[in-house]
Structure 1
Amino acid sequence: MPAVSRLDPAIAARLKRSADGLVPAIAQQYDTGEVLMLGWMDDEALHRTLTTGRCTYWSRSRQEYWVKGDTSGHAQHVKSVALDCDGDTLLVKVDQVGAACHTGDRTCFDAGSLPLG
């Protein structure tokens, strides 16, 4: 990850990052409220997301940035970005084109509910 980011210092100051400098980013379909996926952003990924209008994430496995949809065509067009009250989670409301999940499913959260009780 880069040592220097182009993220607005006022925004950067509000973030509470994990030990590896990342913040979880929940992607949600802007008009239906459907939760699509969870990705990870560092300061630079957030800067790119805010300035390009496309979700950019940090891949923990590949150790590189990736723009959702650049390979698959299943892009996320950003409608809004909000920081939670603790500053440790982002909510990115998007217009999802195609599948959000790498499995080809619309959402990463359709693998079945866990039993309660």
Structure 2
Amino acid sequence: MRAGALANVPAAIFSVGSTALYLLLSFVIPSSSGMATVSMPIMGPLAIQLGLAPEVMILIYVVAHGLILLFTPTFGVLLAGLAISKIEYTTFVKFIMPYVVGLGVVLTAFLTVAMVVL
């Protein structure tokens, strides 16, 4: 695998880009093991070749997947809980989205600092 195209990308930019990529992948692939199988053989070695911490890459994966599970309609536990509570999905999404966005910004900042420091 060649990481030459990303060799001059700062760790902070790579961290934010990886988080965005994992957010998209988490929405498309709701299975955590399926997403790990698809992405980790590429992203883990890529981080290592760029001289970045592979542990932080795993944290980025976990954070992005967990953030998406807070509101994705393919997460059965969420939909079951909303059905039991008699709360419509659209009402729930309108309520939770500001919190999810804020949490995403804070977590991305923490992960970016971790990627730069480690």
TM-score (norm 1): 0.24
Going by fraction, where is helix more abundant, 1 or 2? 2
TM-score (norm 2): 0.24
